[in-house]
Amino acid sequence: MKTIWLAMFVVSSLLLIMVLLRNRLSWGWLRGFGLHLVLAAALLYVLNATEVIPGLHVPLNPITIGTVVALGVPGVALIVGLQWVVV
């Protein structure tokens, strides 16, 4: 049964990659997502390196970067607020 699920996953992944490569609109979306991802990681890194708020360290992990990618600058404020309130 695991072999069937693995085969379905591999085939569907290959078909998804084929659709993404064929469609020009997908390149723009992928490029924009990659740009947001890099900018979010850079923003969190700069926030940690400059220590704008003394004693604040926001970890660079997929959760924090994903939040900043999805929400932008309000995502940074959300993470900083959560860090300040919880820790």
Does the structure show a pLDDT above 90 at 10? yes
Which tokens is 55 given?
């004693």
Do 67 and 75 contact (CB within 8 A), yes or no?
yes
Which tokens is 26 given?
């997908």
Which tokens is 20 given?
């993404």
Amino acid type, 23: N
* DSSP 8-state code for residue 52: S
> Could you report the per-residue pLDDT of 13-38, keeping only the tens digit for each?
999 888 877 876 667 777 888 888 89
- Higher-pLDDT residue of 76 and 87 is 76
pLDDT computed for residue 53 by the predictor: 78
pLDDT computed for residue 25 by the predictor: 66
> Could you report the per-residue pLDDT of 50-73, keeping only the tens digit for each?
888 788 888 888 888 888 888 888
Place of tokens 């290959």: 14
